[in-house]
Amino acid sequence: MRKIKFRGMRVDNVDWVFGNLIYDSDDRYTYIIPHKPIWEFGKITNIIEVIIETVGQFTGLQDKNGIDVYEGDIVKLPKEEGGIKEVKFLDGTFDYGCGVHSFRYKSNEAIIIGNIHEGK
């Protein structure tokens, strides 16, 4: 079974935070709870507010260097496979526009070179 996890940039200092995603009831605020929550007095105290536009889901795959690939990452593929692409969630699957089911089979050839949120 693949891990379901998310990342997002903190609203207070734009560092990345990784964990479980929570939306409030009216979608005005978005939070991530790190994978090891801290409980105090029956409440989780390390809920971190993130910028909703930066939230991306883990694809379940890693790049050529063993780094987790997230939605919104920019990957470099061999030239014959399309060059530089953005990882997107389209039609119920993760893709970078190289053909049906190409993402799963070509992730071991990809190298993450940045993401759409940091302009790298």
Q: Is residue 120 part of a domain?
A: no
Please give the pLDDT value at position 88. 85
- Considering the domain architecture, whether residues 48 and 75 belong to the same structural domain is answered as no
Domain around 16: 6-53
Q: Is residue 34 part of a domain?
A: yes
- Considering the domain architecture, whether residues 72 and 30 belong to the same structural domain is answered as no
Q: Where are the beta strands (DSSP E) in the chain?
A: 6-9, 16-23, 30-34, 39-40, 43-44, 48-50, 56-62, 68-70, 73-76, 84-86, 88-90, 93-95, 111-115
Q: Is residue 10 part of a domain?
A: yes
Q: Is residue 17 part of a domain?
A: yes
- Considering the domain architecture, whether residues 38 and 67 belong to the same structural domain is answered as no
Please give the pLDDT value at position 66. 92
- Considering the domain architecture, whether residues 37 and 68 belong to the same structural domain is answered as no
> In the chain, which residues have pLDDT < 50?
100-101
Please give the pLDDT value at position 97. 62
Mean per-residue pLDDT of the chain:
81
